[in-house]
Structure 1
Amino acid sequence: MSRVPTLLGAVALAATFAIVVPTADSAAALRPKKVVVFGIDGLLFDKIAPVNAPTLDSLIASGRSSKTSLYANPMAPTLSGPGWATLATGVWPDKHKVTSNNWGTSTNLAQYPDFLTRLESANSALSTYAIADWSPLTSDSVGKAIFTSAIDKRETVSDAPGYAAADATIATKAATHLRDTGPDASFVYFGEVDIAGHSCGATGSCYTKAIENTDKHMGTVINAIKARPTYADEDWTFLVSTDHGHTNSGGHGGSSVAERSSFIIQTGPGVPAGTFAVKPKNVDVATTVLGIHGVTAALDGQVLGTPSTDPFEGVTLKPRVDETGIPTDVLGWTKTVPSGWGIDNTGMGTGGMAEWRGWSLTNDDFWTRTQADQQRESNVRARGVFAVADSDEWADKTTSGTFNSTLVSAPYAVTAGRTATIGFGSHYLKEGAETATVSVSFNGGAETQLLKYTADAVAKLERLTVPVPSGATSMVVKWRLTNGANNWYWAVDNPSVSVS
């Protein structure tokens, strides 16, 4: 019998033992993914560039970055407890319930654990690591630790010798562990900057020195990672953020722009250099870490760089007119709405502040500067540009009549016999006779009211449903604020309609 295979047999044999050449995408998918979150307590983003911080400068230049904004009381003070819990859990303080630096047992950390614990729960084969010298992060010193004992390796470095020395110890320990072990996800904390802020303020020389020290520590850790024999075959993502800002004189906890200030820096494979198209939120850090490892969770955050579908994004915002307390270089309001949208000011009173005469589009940086400590800072689930009807600020100049204004959507295509779902972020404070309603109309017909607020709705995500009547092909949504007379406000963000 011949040992030479027939042509047909050769083809069959080749097919059986075909060599599969991996594509670039499949090869990238097989590379181990690693992520390190650096937490620098009390660091103001604007203080990085003026000082000698080559590690941070390099991360900013090679990746993307943005300043972010936090809440204020009554949601939570700008303290380390709520700040780090927000970043670690991916939800805001109204969910995780850490509202001080001594939280005891009155939190929801069991329901909303940190991102490292979530990774362990989703895939115990992943290796995790956390190290800090502010003990509540990694020990149960004031209540259940923010980063739990489920983490593979969790270290608490004593701050007894001072945070400068303790941070140096963290750098040494973290560098060794990350170089030798290469955990899949890590949190590395440095506390000296915050202590310096309390000591000499954000403009003091000790604050500058602390930033430079911390930058060196980060360089030690990152260089150790890059010294790994397998580094070239791994995908490392680095994230940097903080828990709150600092005043120039030192301190935090309040509602000033400086105290509410935070930031996010991200660099790694596939991360473009530059700034984010829409300012991210600190809750996005946890969601991004989980996403890198293919884990999803119902959190307040989204993966960094997620494209916005908000129709309000992309409008051009203007400097203040009547809001003289806001710096002229802060751009933050317009009456020009997206194509197809409208503002109906029928019945609107006269006079008042130009920026708030009827519905306006604005952003957090501008709107929260109008008047602090009136819960505008609690509008945490709004992103980028959002719509506001603010009868309180409108009445800061002489007015006649009442505030009556309607935000009118562009027509949405709908299908008869289906159900339309209207989604939007809502932040409303109720007072007096002021009324806030949501209504819809089909094909230009009569309005149907879907919602009327009778109480505050703080940082809510609304979902309203309505059956689409026979013959209907289009639907318009209206957000109407009426009878306002120095009676607080309503903010609406990211409106959407789906049909099922």
Structure 2
Amino acid sequence: MFRTKENVYITGLDQLSEVLVHPRHVLALAATLALGTAVVATPAHAAAPTPHVLHIGIDGLLATRVDAANAPNLKKLRAEGTDGRSLLYANPMAATSSGPGWSTMLTGVWPDKHLVKDNSFSGNKLNQYPDWLSRAESANPALNTWAAMDWKAIGDNIIGNGLDTKLVYNGDADGYVGHDATIATKAETHLRDDAADATFAYFGQVDIVGHNSGASSQAYLTEIARIDGYVGRLLAAVAARPNRANEKWLVLVGTDHGHTPSGGHGGSTLDERTTFVLAWGDGVGVAKPKTTRLVDLPATALTHLGVAVPAVLDGRPVTQVDADPFESVTLKPAVMESIPASILGWNSVLPAGWSRDTSALPAGGVTEWAGWSLTTDAFWTSAQRDQGRETFVRGRGTIAVADSDEWADTTASTGKTYDSTLWTPSKAVAGTTVKVNLTHWYRQEGNQRGYVVVKWNGGATQTVKTYSADSVNGPDSLTLTAPAGATNVQVGFRLVGVNNWYWAIDDVRVS
């Protein structure tokens, strides 16, 4: 055993790479023993339940295969909690591999911020975006933070060294089966006996079986069942805590990527991109939100612990209700695109007050993209993979898309100009300025142009911004000066191009 400035390191236990324990807990124990008696608080009112978070990470778990597995515990969490499915990015943002996946899930920012593109971790900025447990520890050092993992790269690169306990095993060198079992046992004891305010337990063998046998194999289902047994043991440990009745628990389960039926990941298929954040516990309702993203896990955990969520994070609590009016529209299966009917979908119908102008759009293009349409990540990227559509990760649920490239995939539309405008509802003007906030991904090519346009009091259309190069793929805002006498405004988004790229928009707010 050897001591550093911050931690006590213990090596050689159960093939353990590192155990980090803060010395302040040794001092606290000594102080308690010196007192000789316990101090019992007698508040005038019952104390609020203390919040606790358990994050279970299962590498390479394809969400759609859980239903076929003997996995009663995962199915219980799904049935009783908030089951948020979503899709990852793909290259060029990052590969659907573990390095970017766990970096995204644990830090709460996308790969264009943390810069982990693959499993090499080269050129990353993880020092600027700490994992959620490190953020919790820094905000409130009194919290008991604990993490165990057997993909060593997580401990080496993502999880910080300031936690109270950090157990790092090397599954690549020693095998994941034994280390998964050890992590389950140690986490079980920790959850039952310790303060366990913020806990992360990672299991790696599901991914190994996915590579070796494929997600469609019985071996993969058998491995899901084994890990599900560990999930059950951890839940039982939480239930058996002596003070459980006075605690408020949140259990989060997530994965870094999916797997192809024959095995493997890293590409852009829906199976590889499929991920989820599952939330269950005290006060968590039953829901299947369509707007969850992988970055939401840290914000969910920190909010539960009463720790402020930094503005730099890309996520939000999974239980947050999305007020975006696009979510109110019912989507339908493909008409011309060769996309399975199980993947919904698209619709040219817009929410109340919204409209689209296709008066300058020639006839004959692909129906789904004949002017601005509402669609989803799964549907839009299935129309054509590996052209950057997968990188609009900040769009959530139902998004609006103008896609001149996909629209032009018919003989009748070849060489013709795509021209369509999406209009917001009329908004009352109560001052001299109007703020337009949106999340979008504008991809430029050739002579294509994107225009933000306005109509004051229903008058002539005016251009207030032109896009002629790729914009920021994410949040954006414009401040407009209202002309004298303006009492209302409509904001429009016009895309003009000849078989060029696209413009995707979400979460438009005019204020």
Using structure 1 for the length normalisation, give the TM-score.
0.90
CA contact (8 A) 1:378 1:458 kept: no
Q: Which residue of 2 aligns with 1:274?
A: 287
Q: Which residue of 2 aligns with 1:415?
A: 430
- In structure 1, distance between residues paired with 2:477 and 2:357: 23
- Residue 458 of structure 1 and its aligned partner are, at CA, apart by 5.0
Q: 1:301 aligns with which of 315, 318, 332?
A: 315
Q: 1:110 aligns with which of 127, 132, 142?
A: 127
- In structure 2, distance between residues paired with 1:233 and 1:405: 57
Tell me: CA distance 1:111–1:20, structure 2 relative to 1, closer, same or farther (3 Å).
Answer: closer
Q: Indicate the SS of the match to 1:302.
A: coil
1:450 equivalent to 2:464? Answer yes
- In structure 2, distance between residues paired with 1:414 and 1:110: 44
Q: Which moved more, 1:88-97 or 1:300-309?
A: 300-309
Q: Which residue of 2 aligns with 1:284?
A: 296
Q: Which residue of 2 aligns with 1:469?
A: 483
CA contact (8 A) 2:372 2:422 kept: yes
- Give per-residue Cα distances to partners, 1:165-187, cap 9 Å, x unaligned: 11001101111122121321111
Amino acid of the structure 2 residue aligned with 1:423: N
CA contact (8 A) 2:53 2:305 kept: no
Identity %: 48
CA contact (8 A) 1:392 1:488 kept: yes
Q: 1:251 aligns with which of 259, 264, 282?
A: 264
- In structure 2, distance between residues paired with 1:96 and 1:284: 15
Q: 1:33 aligns with which of 27, 39, 51?
A: 51
Amino acid of the structure 2 residue aligned with 1:233: N
Q: Which residue of 2 aligns with 1:14?
A: none
Q: Indicate the SS of the match to 2:262.
A: coil
Q: Indicate the SS of the match to 1:372.
A: coil
Q: Which residue of 1 aligns with 2:3?
A: none
Amino acid of the structure 2 residue aligned with 1:189: Y
- In structure 2, distance between residues paired with 1:117 and 1:353: 49
- In structure 1, distance between residues paired with 2:275 and 2:242: 35
Amino acid of the structure 2 residue aligned with 1:415: A
Q: Indicate the SS of the match to 1:49.
A: coil
Q: Indicate the SS of the match to 1:78.
A: coil
- In structure 2, distance between residues paired with 1:296 and 1:67: 22
1:310 equivalent to 2:328? Answer no
CA contact (8 A) 1:44 1:261 kept: yes
Matches within 5 A, 1:20-99: 22=45, 30-99=48-117
1:229 equivalent to 2:229? Answer no
Q: Which residue of 2 aligns with 1:167?
A: 180
- Give per-residue Cα distances to partners, 1:28-73, cap 9 Å, x unaligned: x711100111110000111111111111111112212132100000
- Residue 446 of structure 1 and its aligned partner are, at CA, apart by 3.2
Q: Which residue of 2 aligns with 1:198?
A: 211
Q: Indicate the SS of the match to 2:227.
A: helix
1:150 equivalent to 2:166? Answer no
Q: Which residue of 2 aligns with 1:359?
A: 372
- Residue 329 of structure 1 and its aligned partner are, at CA, apart by 2.2
- Give per-residue Cα distances to partners, 1:216-267, cap 9 Å, x unaligned: 1111222122211111211111010100000000000000000000012111
- In structure 1, distance between residues paired with 2:422 and 2:383: 21
- Residue 274 of structure 1 and its aligned partner are, at CA, apart by 3.3
Amino acid of the structure 2 residue aligned with 1:288: T
Q: Indicate the SS of the match to 2:334.
A: coil
CA contact (8 A) 1:182 1:225 kept: no
- In structure 1, distance between residues paired with 2:70 and 2:403: 43
- In structure 2, distance between residues paired with 1:51 and 1:470: 65
- In structure 1, distance between residues paired with 2:335 and 2:316: 34
CA contact (8 A) 1:311 1:495 kept: no
- In structure 1, distance between residues paired with 2:442 and 2:211: 35
CA contact (8 A) 1:416 1:470 kept: no
1:131 equivalent to 2:145? Answer no
- Residue 416 of structure 1 and its aligned partner are, at CA, apart by 3.3
Tell me: CA distance 1:399–1:182, structure 2 relative to 1, closer, same or farther (3 Å).
Answer: farther
- In structure 2, distance between residues paired with 1:283 and 1:259: 17
- Residue 215 of structure 1 and its aligned partner are, at CA, apart by 0.7
Q: Indicate the SS of the match to 1:472.
A: coil
- Residue 202 of structure 1 and its aligned partner are, at CA, apart by 0.4
Q: Which residue of 2 aligns with 1:180?
A: 193
Using structure 2 for the length normalisation, give the TM-score.
0.89
> What is the CA RMSD across the aligned residues, in angstroms?
1.5
